[in-house]
Amino acid sequence: MDQQSALDPSLSQTPAGGGDFARLWREMRFDGMECLNARFQRHSYAPHTHETYVVGVITAGTELYRCRGTERVAQAGQVVVLDPEVLHDGRPAADGYAYRMFYPPVALFEQAMVDALGRPVVPHFSAMELDDPEMFQALRGLHHGLEGPYREPLRVDTDALRAFTALALRHGDLTARLRKPGQEPAAVRHAREYLDSHLDSPVELADLAEAAGLSRFHLLRVFRAAVGTTPHGYLTDRRVAQAKRLLAGPLPLAEVALACGFCDQAHFNRVFKGRVGVSPGQYRRGSNPVQDVAAAVA
């Protein structure tokens, strides 16, 4: 067995020929936390943000990504952690990469800290790639346990609480406060509110600037400084987040696309996969297992 397979035996399950592979699902017992098991040799993520934390382990190869204005490298054996709302992308190095990722909501960490410390603080992670073999094993083991067929509730609850608590206590700054949405200059807040209310329709920069009370150029400058991305990037991320919510329901994919402001289903598919790593159809199947089973029975 080579070093990469030793890091993650599940890599033997990837498609023949070593192509891209991705499986996403949601854990409802952990506030709907998304989990992703993937290997990419071709797929590149567009710049995007998450409303949640990003926590995972690189199990094979090397991922290259840009975050906080710098080019970064995450390698096999490392733990990767990003705070919510941090703009980043992702692409494979020449050898590709495989990883197992969690997207835990802020409330999950907050509750873990209440249990551990008796107060509702949330961690801020300044280091994004962590060399912590014990933490790597704990997170990888938790991910395998959640994906596997034998899921004893007491064990997965214990493993999850211990892993996320240890990550926060070892590597998180528990004195810093994450900036909550809305805590930015009033003009930027007005711009965000305008974008949030126009997810299903085209937005003109001139109209957005008028809503914010700034010139177009000044709005672009202060918005990026406050939010970390452009108004268009913010709008696209919010449209994808809204699409995720709608994919939990019965709307056909084409109607979800239109309801979230995408030109058509092809546009929706391309943008969604560029940010999530799987297509809208794959996301619906992975995040709605009961619905999927019911459809199969019907």
57 vs 80: CA distance, rounded Å = 6
3-state secondary structure of 103: strand
Q: Which pLDDT value is given to residue 257? A: 96
The CATH architecture that domain 186-291 belongs to is Orthogonal Bundle (1.10)
Q: Please report, rounded to a whole number, the percentage of residues in the chain having pLDDT higher than 70.
A: 88
Strand 45-48 to 88-103 pairing? antiparallel
296 or 214, which is more confident? 214
3-state secondary structure of 134: helix
The CATH H-level superfamily of 3-171 is Jelly Rolls (2.60.120.10)
Q: Is 6 a residue whose pLDDT tops 70? A: no
Q: Which pLDDT value is given to residue 18? A: 65
Strand 21-27 to 79-82 pairing? unpaired
Locate the domains of the chain by residue range.
Answer: 3-171, 186-291
Least confident of 53-57, 99-103, 135-139, 286-290: 286-290
CB-based burial of residue 216 (10 Å sphere; 0-12 exposed, 13-18 middle, 19+ buried)?
A: middle
Q: What angle do CA 87, 93, 97 make, to 5 degrees?
A: 85
